[in-house]
Protein backbone atom coordinates (compact mmCIF):
# COMPACT_ATOMS: atom_id res chain seq x y z
CA UNK A 1 0.00 0.00 0.00
CA UNK A 2 2.77 2.40 0.95
CA UNK A 3 4.65 1.45 -2.11
CA UNK A 4 1.61 2.00 -4.23
CA UNK A 5 0.97 5.42 -2.77
CA UNK A 6 4.57 6.37 -3.25
CA UNK A 7 4.42 5.34 -6.86
CA UNK A 8 1.26 7.37 -7.36
CA UNK A 9 2.83 10.39 -5.77
CA UNK A 10 6.02 10.09 -7.76
CA UNK A 11 4.06 9.61 -10.88
CA UNK A 12 1.91 12.60 -10.25
CA UNK A 13 4.64 14.92 -9.12
CA UNK A 14 6.85 13.97 -12.00
CA UNK A 15 4.16 14.27 -14.60
CA UNK A 16 2.91 17.74 -15.21
CA UNK A 17 -0.71 17.82 -16.20
CA UNK A 18 -2.83 19.97 -18.38
CA UNK A 19 -3.43 23.28 -16.74
CA UNK A 20 -5.23 25.19 -19.42
CA UNK A 21 -8.46 25.50 -17.50
CA UNK A 22 -6.98 27.13 -14.45
CA UNK A 23 -8.45 30.40 -15.63
CA UNK A 24 -11.91 29.17 -14.81
CA UNK A 25 -11.19 28.91 -11.15
CA UNK A 26 -13.15 31.60 -9.37
CA UNK A 27 -11.53 33.75 -6.80
CA UNK A 28 -13.93 32.48 -4.17
CA UNK A 29 -12.13 29.24 -4.48
CA UNK A 30 -9.14 30.85 -2.91
CA UNK A 31 -6.86 32.25 -5.56
CA UNK A 32 -3.47 30.99 -6.51
CA UNK A 33 -0.29 31.53 -4.67
CA UNK A 34 0.81 34.11 -7.12
CA UNK A 35 3.86 36.21 -6.56
CA UNK A 36 1.93 39.25 -7.70
CA UNK A 37 -0.36 39.12 -4.69
CA UNK A 38 2.25 38.37 -2.12
CA UNK A 39 4.21 41.17 -0.53
CA UNK A 40 7.54 39.59 0.02
CA UNK A 41 11.16 39.00 -0.32
CA UNK A 42 13.48 37.02 1.83
CA UNK A 43 15.30 33.79 1.90
CA UNK A 44 13.11 32.17 4.54
CA UNK A 45 12.83 29.05 2.48
CA UNK A 46 16.32 28.07 3.51
CA UNK A 47 15.37 28.16 7.18
CA UNK A 48 15.73 24.78 8.85
CA UNK A 49 12.17 24.54 10.12
CA UNK A 50 10.92 22.68 7.10
CA UNK A 51 13.44 19.87 7.49
CA UNK A 52 12.93 19.54 11.22
CA UNK A 53 9.19 19.37 11.13
CA UNK A 54 8.95 17.22 7.99
CA UNK A 55 8.09 14.03 9.84
CA UNK A 56 5.26 15.55 11.88
CA UNK A 57 3.91 17.97 9.29
CA UNK A 58 0.19 17.41 9.12
CA UNK A 59 -1.28 20.66 7.79
CA UNK A 60 -0.68 23.19 5.07
CA UNK A 61 0.89 26.37 6.42
CA UNK A 62 -1.91 28.21 4.61
CA UNK A 63 -5.17 28.46 6.53
CA UNK A 64 -8.52 29.84 5.40
CA UNK A 65 -10.32 32.24 7.75
CA UNK A 66 -13.94 33.11 6.99
CA UNK A 67 -16.66 35.27 8.48
CA UNK A 68 -14.30 38.04 9.54
CA UNK A 69 -15.77 41.26 10.94
CA UNK A 70 -16.22 43.63 7.96
CA UNK A 71 -14.12 46.37 9.51
CA UNK A 72 -11.09 44.26 10.40
CA UNK A 73 -7.99 45.28 8.48
CA UNK A 74 -4.85 43.39 7.57
CA UNK A 75 -2.86 44.55 10.59
CA UNK A 76 -5.64 43.61 12.97
CA UNK A 77 -5.96 40.17 11.41
CA UNK A 78 -2.20 39.72 11.70
CA UNK A 79 -2.17 40.71 15.35
CA UNK A 80 -5.16 38.45 16.09
CA UNK A 81 -3.16 35.43 14.97
CA UNK A 82 0.40 36.56 15.71
CA UNK A 83 0.46 34.68 19.01
CA UNK A 84 0.58 31.39 17.06
CA UNK A 85 3.72 32.42 15.17
CA UNK A 86 4.96 34.60 12.30
CA UNK A 87 2.45 34.96 9.48
CA UNK A 88 1.44 36.87 6.37
CA UNK A 89 -2.20 37.71 5.67
CA UNK A 90 -3.35 37.37 2.11
CA UNK A 91 -6.54 37.31 0.04
CA UNK A 92 -7.24 37.02 -3.69
CA UNK A 93 -6.24 40.12 -5.66
CA UNK A 94 -5.02 41.81 -2.52
CA UNK A 95 -2.24 43.69 -4.25
CA UNK A 96 -4.41 45.05 -7.09
CA UNK A 97 -7.37 45.99 -4.95
CA UNK A 98 -5.28 48.10 -2.57
CA UNK A 99 -7.91 47.45 0.08
CA UNK A 100 -6.99 47.28 3.73
CA UNK A 101 -9.92 44.97 4.37
CA UNK A 102 -10.51 41.52 2.92
CA UNK A 103 -13.39 42.38 0.56
CA UNK A 104 -15.45 39.22 1.06
CA UNK A 105 -14.88 38.66 4.73
CA UNK A 106 -12.34 35.92 4.26
CA UNK A 107 -8.58 35.76 4.11
CA UNK A 108 -5.70 33.34 4.18
CA UNK A 109 -3.16 33.12 6.94
CA UNK A 110 0.23 32.01 5.67
CA UNK A 111 2.23 30.84 8.63
CA UNK A 112 5.96 30.50 8.59
CA UNK A 113 5.82 27.26 10.56
CA UNK A 114 3.44 24.35 10.36
CA UNK A 115 3.51 24.05 14.16
CA UNK A 116 1.71 27.42 14.30
CA UNK A 117 -1.23 25.86 12.49
CA UNK A 118 -1.38 23.04 15.01
CA UNK A 119 -1.37 25.55 17.87
CA UNK A 120 -4.09 27.58 16.18
CA UNK A 121 -6.25 24.47 15.79
CA UNK A 122 -5.78 23.58 19.44
CA UNK A 123 -6.97 27.05 20.43
CA UNK A 124 -10.16 26.76 18.35
CA UNK A 125 -13.60 25.79 19.51
CA UNK A 126 -15.36 23.08 17.53
CA UNK A 127 -18.97 23.21 16.42
CA UNK A 128 -20.41 20.61 14.06
CA UNK A 129 -16.94 19.68 12.83
CA UNK A 130 -16.11 23.30 12.08
CA UNK A 131 -13.41 25.24 13.88
CA UNK A 132 -13.91 28.73 15.24
CA UNK A 133 -11.78 31.30 16.98
CA UNK A 134 -12.96 34.63 18.41
CA UNK A 135 -11.51 37.72 16.79
CA UNK A 136 -12.16 41.39 17.53
CA UNK A 137 -12.31 44.40 15.24
CA UNK A 138 -12.64 48.06 16.27
CA UNK A 139 -16.44 47.78 16.45
CA UNK A 140 -17.11 44.07 16.98
CA UNK A 141 -15.77 42.24 20.00
CA UNK A 142 -15.07 38.52 20.05
CA UNK A 143 -16.70 37.47 16.82
CA UNK A 144 -16.29 33.74 16.13
CA UNK A 145 -14.56 33.35 12.75
CA UNK A 146 -14.26 30.05 10.94
CA UNK A 147 -10.79 28.53 10.68
CA UNK A 148 -10.34 26.00 7.92
CA UNK A 149 -6.97 24.27 7.91
CA UNK A 150 -5.97 21.91 5.11
CA UNK A 151 -4.88 18.47 6.22
CA UNK A 152 -2.08 17.19 3.99
CA UNK A 153 -3.42 13.64 4.01
CA UNK A 154 -6.61 14.87 2.34
CA UNK A 155 -4.73 15.47 -0.91
CA UNK A 156 -4.64 11.78 -1.96
CA UNK A 157 -7.11 8.98 -1.79
CA UNK A 158 -6.81 5.45 -3.08
CA UNK A 159 -10.16 3.80 -3.60
CA UNK A 160 -8.92 0.65 -5.25
CA UNK A 161 -5.28 -0.19 -4.65
CA UNK A 162 -5.44 -3.37 -6.68
CA UNK A 163 -5.71 -1.44 -9.94
CA UNK A 164 -2.63 -0.01 -11.60
CA UNK A 165 -2.77 3.76 -11.96
CA UNK A 166 -3.02 4.41 -15.67
CA UNK A 167 -2.34 8.02 -16.68
CA UNK A 168 -4.29 7.32 -19.86
CA UNK A 169 -7.37 6.63 -17.81
CA UNK A 170 -6.89 9.71 -15.67
CA UNK A 171 -8.87 12.93 -15.91
CA UNK A 172 -7.98 16.43 -14.85
CA UNK A 173 -10.68 18.22 -12.91
CA UNK A 174 -10.48 22.01 -12.96
CA UNK A 175 -12.16 24.49 -10.66
CA UNK A 176 -12.40 22.13 -7.70
CA UNK A 177 -13.68 24.00 -4.64
CA UNK A 178 -10.89 24.37 -2.07
CA UNK A 179 -12.40 22.47 0.85
CA UNK A 180 -13.05 19.38 -1.24
CA UNK A 181 -10.95 16.43 -0.10
CA UNK A 182 -9.52 13.75 -2.37
CA UNK A 183 -11.76 11.23 -0.65
CA UNK A 184 -14.84 13.30 -1.50
CA UNK A 185 -13.75 13.85 -5.09
CA UNK A 186 -13.22 10.09 -5.46
CA UNK A 187 -16.68 9.34 -4.07
CA UNK A 188 -18.46 11.88 -6.26
CA UNK A 189 -16.74 10.69 -9.44
CA UNK A 190 -17.25 7.05 -8.53
CA UNK A 191 -20.95 7.67 -7.99
CA UNK A 192 -21.22 9.38 -11.38
CA UNK A 193 -19.00 7.20 -13.55
CA UNK A 194 -17.92 4.19 -11.48
CA UNK A 195 -14.52 2.54 -11.55
CA UNK A 196 -12.56 5.22 -9.70
CA UNK A 197 -9.31 3.87 -8.29
CA UNK A 198 -7.59 7.08 -7.19
CA UNK A 199 -8.27 10.79 -6.69
CA UNK A 200 -5.80 13.53 -5.91
CA UNK A 201 -6.10 17.22 -5.10
CA UNK A 202 -3.32 19.31 -6.63
CA UNK A 203 -1.47 21.40 -4.11
CA UNK A 204 1.19 24.03 -4.55
CA UNK A 205 4.66 22.80 -3.66
CA UNK A 206 5.42 25.74 -1.39
CA UNK A 207 2.49 25.77 1.02
CA UNK A 208 0.98 22.42 0.03
CA UNK A 209 -2.42 24.12 -0.20
CA UNK A 210 -5.03 23.09 -2.79
CA UNK A 211 -4.67 24.90 -6.10
CA UNK A 212 -8.26 24.29 -7.14
CA UNK A 213 -7.70 21.30 -9.41
CA UNK A 214 -7.58 17.57 -9.07
CA UNK A 215 -7.01 14.29 -10.85
CA UNK A 216 -9.11 11.16 -10.92
CA UNK A 217 -7.84 7.83 -12.21
CA UNK A 218 -10.30 5.22 -13.43
CA UNK A 219 -9.86 1.49 -13.56
CA UNK A 220 -11.54 1.11 -16.92
CA UNK A 221 -11.82 2.84 -20.25
CA UNK A 222 -15.63 3.16 -20.20
CA UNK A 223 -15.66 5.21 -17.02
CA UNK A 224 -12.82 7.38 -18.30
CA UNK A 225 -14.59 8.02 -21.60
CA UNK A 226 -17.87 8.73 -19.83
CA UNK A 227 -16.13 11.32 -17.66
CA UNK A 228 -14.32 13.14 -20.46
CA UNK A 229 -17.35 12.99 -22.73
CA UNK A 230 -19.42 14.78 -20.11
CA UNK A 231 -16.85 17.63 -20.06
CA UNK A 232 -18.54 19.16 -17.04
CA UNK A 233 -19.49 17.59 -13.78
CA UNK A 234 -21.63 18.86 -10.95
CA UNK A 235 -19.71 18.42 -7.73
CA UNK A 236 -22.17 18.11 -4.90
CA UNK A 237 -21.01 17.47 -1.42
CA UNK A 238 -22.23 19.07 1.78
CA UNK A 239 -22.31 22.83 1.24
CA UNK A 240 -20.54 22.41 -2.07
CA UNK A 241 -22.50 22.46 -5.32
CA UNK A 242 -20.41 23.51 -8.25
CA UNK A 243 -20.06 22.71 -11.93
CA UNK A 244 -16.46 21.92 -12.81
CA UNK A 245 -14.64 21.00 -15.99
CA UNK A 246 -13.21 17.58 -16.74
CA UNK A 247 -10.48 16.91 -19.30
CA UNK A 248 -8.10 14.12 -20.11
CA UNK A 249 -4.93 14.32 -18.10
CA UNK A 250 -2.24 15.11 -20.66
CA UNK A 251 1.30 13.84 -20.25
CA UNK A 252 4.36 15.44 -21.74
CA UNK A 253 6.52 12.36 -22.14
CA UNK A 254 4.45 10.22 -24.47
CA UNK A 255 5.54 9.02 -27.89
CA UNK A 256 3.31 9.58 -30.90
CA UNK A 257 0.87 6.67 -30.90
CA UNK A 258 0.77 6.61 -34.70
CA UNK A 259 4.43 6.50 -35.64
CA UNK A 260 6.08 5.71 -32.29
CA UNK A 261 8.52 8.51 -32.98
CA UNK A 262 9.49 7.33 -36.48
CA UNK A 263 8.33 10.49 -38.20
CA UNK A 264 9.31 12.98 -35.56
CA UNK A 265 12.85 12.04 -34.61
CA UNK A 266 11.76 10.20 -31.47
CA UNK A 267 10.54 13.35 -29.76
CA UNK A 268 7.69 13.30 -27.27
CA UNK A 269 4.32 13.92 -28.85
CA UNK A 270 3.15 17.53 -28.52
CA UNK A 271 -0.57 16.87 -29.10
CA UNK A 272 -3.28 14.79 -27.57
CA UNK A 273 -6.65 14.34 -29.24
CA UNK A 274 -9.38 14.04 -26.63
CA UNK A 275 -12.05 13.10 -29.15
CA UNK A 276 -13.24 9.65 -28.20
CA UNK A 277 -12.65 8.38 -31.73
CA UNK A 278 -8.95 9.24 -31.30
CA UNK A 279 -7.80 9.45 -27.66
CA UNK A 280 -4.22 9.37 -28.79
CA UNK A 281 -0.99 11.30 -28.69
CA UNK A 282 0.27 12.62 -32.01
CA UNK A 283 3.36 14.24 -33.45
CA UNK A 284 2.73 17.22 -35.74
CA UNK A 285 2.95 15.16 -38.89
CA UNK A 286 0.66 12.38 -37.70
CA UNK A 287 -1.82 14.89 -36.31
CA UNK A 288 -2.09 16.47 -39.76
CA UNK A 289 -2.40 13.14 -41.57
CA UNK A 290 -5.00 11.61 -39.25
CA UNK A 291 -7.05 14.78 -38.97
CA UNK A 292 -7.27 15.39 -42.70
CA UNK A 293 -9.65 12.42 -42.80
CA UNK A 294 -13.33 13.18 -43.12
CA UNK A 295 -15.04 13.60 -39.80
CA UNK A 296 -11.83 14.37 -37.97
CA UNK A 297 -11.10 17.83 -39.35
CA UNK A 298 -12.71 19.48 -36.38
CA UNK A 299 -10.81 17.69 -33.65
CA UNK A 300 -8.86 20.08 -31.48
CA UNK A 301 -5.53 19.16 -29.95
CA UNK A 302 -4.99 19.33 -26.23
CA UNK A 303 -1.54 20.59 -25.42
CA UNK A 304 -0.04 20.34 -22.02
CA UNK A 305 0.99 23.75 -20.88
CA UNK A 306 3.34 25.30 -18.49
CA UNK A 307 4.00 22.03 -16.75
CA UNK A 308 5.45 22.34 -13.28
CA UNK A 309 7.12 25.66 -13.71
CA UNK A 310 8.93 26.33 -10.50
CA UNK A 311 7.13 29.16 -8.86
CA UNK A 312 9.42 31.35 -6.81
CA UNK A 313 7.44 32.70 -3.91
CA UNK A 314 9.73 34.47 -1.51
CA UNK A 315 8.11 35.50 1.75
CA UNK A 316 8.57 38.23 4.23
CA UNK A 317 7.24 37.22 7.62
CA UNK A 318 5.90 39.74 10.02
ZN1 LIG B 1 3.76 10.53 -35.35
ZN1 LIG C 1 -8.65 13.32 -33.26
- The CATH number of the domain holding residue 294 is 4.10.640.40
Q: Are residues 190 and 232 in the same domain?
A: yes
**At 47, is the secondary structure helix, strand, or coil?**
coil
**Same-domain pairing of 228 and 270:** no
Cα of 110 to ligand 2 centre, how many Å? 44
Decide: residue 200, CB within 10 A, 0-12 exposed, 13-18 middle, 19+ buried: buried
Rounded to two decimals, the pTM is 0.74
Q: Map residue 217 onto helix, strand or coil.
A: strand
The CATH number of whichever domain residue 218 belongs to comes to 3.30.70.330
Whether 177 and 262 map to the same domain: the answer is no
> Of the candidates 151, 171, 195, which is a domain's last residue?
151
Distance 175 CA to ligand 2 centre (A): 25
Q: What one-character DSSP code corresponds to residue 59?
A: B
**In terms of domains, do 213 and 234 share one?**
yes
> How far, in Å, from the CA of 23 to the mean position of ligand 2?
25
Q: How far is the CA of 250 from the centre of ligand 1 (A)?
A: 17
For residue 297, tell me if it sits in a domain. yes
| Domain final residue, candidates 248, 266, 293 | 248
Does any domain span residue 237?
yes
Q: In angstroms, rounded to a whole number, what is the distance separating the alpha carbons of residues 279 and 107?
A: 41
- C-alpha Rg value of the chain to the nearest Å: 22
CA of 253 to the centre of ligand 2 (A): 19
CA-based nearest residue to 102, from 110, 113, 94? 94
| Beta carbons of 233 and 227 less than 8 angstroms apart | yes
pLDDT in tens, the chain (318 residues): 444 445 444 444 443 333 333 333 343 444 333 333 333 333 333 344 444 445 578 999 999 999 999 999 999 999 999 999 999 999 988 888 777 888 888 999 999 999 999 999 999 999 988 999 999 999 999 999 999 999 999 999 999 888 888 889 999 999 998 889 999 999 999 999 999 999 999 999 999 999 999 999 999 999 999 999 988 988 887 778 899 999 999 988 899 999 999 999 999 999 999 888 999 999 999 999 999 998 999 999 987 754 443 333 333 343
Coil/strand/helix, residue 282: strand
Expressed in angstroms and rounded, the spacing between residue 298 Cα and the centre of ligand 2 is 8
CA of 299 from ligand 2 middle (Å) equals: 5
- Asked whether residue 204 falls in the same domain as residue 257, the answer is no
245 DSSP 8-state letter: E
Q: 67 and 140: one domain? A: yes
Shared domain for 64 and 147, answered yes or no, is yes
**CA 283–ligand 2 middle distance (angstroms):** 12
Taking the centre of ligand 1 as the mean of its atom positions, its distance from the CA of residue 292, in whole angstroms, is: 14
Distances from the Cα of 262 to the Cα of 259, 279, 286, 291, angstroms: 5, 20, 10, 18
Question: Is residue 221 situated within a structural domain?
Answer: yes
Q: Which residues are within 8 A (CB) of 256 and not within 5 positions of it... i.e. 6 or more apart?
A: 263, 264, 269, 281, 282, 283, 286
Residues 119 and 196 in one domain: no
- Separation of CA 253 and ligand 1 centre (Å): 14
Range of the domain at 125: 58-151
The Cα–Cα gap between 285 and 261 comes to 10
Q: Where are the beta strands (DSSP E) in 14-129?
A: 62-66, 87-90, 107-111, 125-127
Instruction: Give yes or no: residues 136 and 164 share one domain.
Output: no
Task: Tell me the three state secondary structure of residue 203.
Answer: strand
Task: Please identify, among 107, 130, 151, the residue that sits at the C-terminal boundary of a domain.
Answer: 151
Count other C-beta atoms under 10 Å from residue 307's C-beta: 12
Check residue 15 and report its DSSP letter: S
Residue 226 CA, ligand 1 centroid: distance in Å: 27
Please give the helix or strand (H or E) that residue 284 lies within, else none: helix 284-290
Q: Which ligand is nearest to the CA of 285?
A: 1
Nearest of 154, 205, 204 to residue 179 by alpha carbon:
154
CA of 290 to the centre of ligand 1 (A): 10
**Rounded CA separation 275/280 (Å):** 9
What is the distance in A from the centroid of ligand 2 to the CA of 198? 27
Q: How many domains does the chain have?
A: 3
Amino acid sequence: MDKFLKRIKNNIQRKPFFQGIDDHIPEEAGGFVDSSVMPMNSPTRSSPHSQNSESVERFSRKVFVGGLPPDIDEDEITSSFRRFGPLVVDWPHKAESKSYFPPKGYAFLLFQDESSVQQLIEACITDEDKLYLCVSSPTIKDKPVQIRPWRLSDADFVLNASMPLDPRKTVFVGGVPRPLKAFELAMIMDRLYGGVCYAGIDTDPELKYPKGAGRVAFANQQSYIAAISARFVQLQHGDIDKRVEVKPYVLDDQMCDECQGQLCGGKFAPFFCANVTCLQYYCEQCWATIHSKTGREYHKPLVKEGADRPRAVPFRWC
